[in-house]
Amino acid sequence: MPQGKPSVVPEDGLTTRQRRTRPLVIVHTGPGKGKSTAAFGTALRAWNQGWPVGVFQFVKSAKWRVGEERALQVLGRSGEGGTVTWHKMGEGWSWIQRGDQEDHAADAREGWEQIKRDLAAETYRLYVLDEFTYPIKWGWIDVEDVLAALAARPGSQHVVITGRDAHPDLVAAADLVTEMAKVKHPMDAGQKGQRGIEW
């Protein structure tokens, strides 16, 4: 854990306070577990600060994230912290499972256009773009467009992007990058995912 002593003081013309509240682009990548889970943990802190939180899920699954979604929805409704808005495929953006790669690509692009509009409007203070590395990896969304929109975002909006194989240009542009490496997983010992742990 960082102990509050930066190893260098940059010559960026910012005050310590400005630098301290600089909005961050955070990437959780790598083959290990915890990428999305840690992003939702970060959302707890943002909620505690009273920030509006927007979650955008880019890979659909019936089971995945149900626990995190319900927990964050309950927190958002509690009135004791920030709001939580949860966007996912099949809801919101008319994201429909049609089994056709072209449709998925169009849906992913539509989701990304919504995020760009929200960034421009400063709708949220923390964005969780869950599994967003994949539509970039698959060429559905142009990484240059992503970097331009992130660089141009106004105000103090933090963005957390999760998923394996983060594009090198995204890693280069990010402020904080953590690689989750798999050391050992129960799947290796023939165990399938289980309720309460995997979802």
* Residue found under tokens 């090198």: 168
Instruction: Closer to its own copies by CB, 8 or 94: give it.
Output: 8
Distance in angstroms (rounded) separating the CA atoms of residues 25 and 70: 25
- Is residue 92 involved in binding its own copies (CB under 8 A)? no
- Rounded Cα gap, residues 58 and 136, in angstroms: 11
Instruction: Tally the C-alpha atoms within 13 A of residue 131's C-alpha that lie toward its C-beta.
Output: 15
- CB neighbours (10 Å) of residue 175? 12
CA distance 35 to 47: 19
C-beta atoms surrounding 21 within 10 Å:
11
Q: Which stretch binds its own copies (CB under 8 A): 96-104, 106-114, 138-146, 186-194?
A: 186-194
Site residues (CB under 8 A) for its own copies, limited to 115-134: 125-126
Residue 35 Cβ, how far from its own copies at the closest point, in Å? 8
In three-state secondary structure terms, 132 is coil
- Least distance in angstroms from the C-beta of 62 to its own copies: 12
Residues between 48 and 77 with contacts to its own copies, criterion CB under 8 A: 48-49, 51, 59, 64, 66-68, 70-72, 74-75
Which of residues 78, 110, 122, 144 is near its own copies by CB under 8 A? Answer: 78
Applying the rule CB under 8 A, the residues between 123 and 182 that interact with its own copies are 125-126, 158, 171, 174-182
Choose between 2 and 139: whose C-beta lies nearer to its own copies: 2
What residues from 24 to 43 belong to the interface with its own copies (CB under 8 A)? 24, 26-30, 32-42
Rounded to 5 degrees, φ, ψ at 86 are: -115, 115
Number of residues that bind its own copies (CB under 8 A): 81
CA 18 to chain centre: 23
Stretch that binds its own copies, among 19-27, 92-100, 110-118, 140-148 (CB under 8 A): 19-27
Residue from 62, 102, 155, 188 touching its own copies (CB under 8 A): that is 188
Q: Is residue 132 within 8 Å of residue 145, measured between CB atoms? A: no
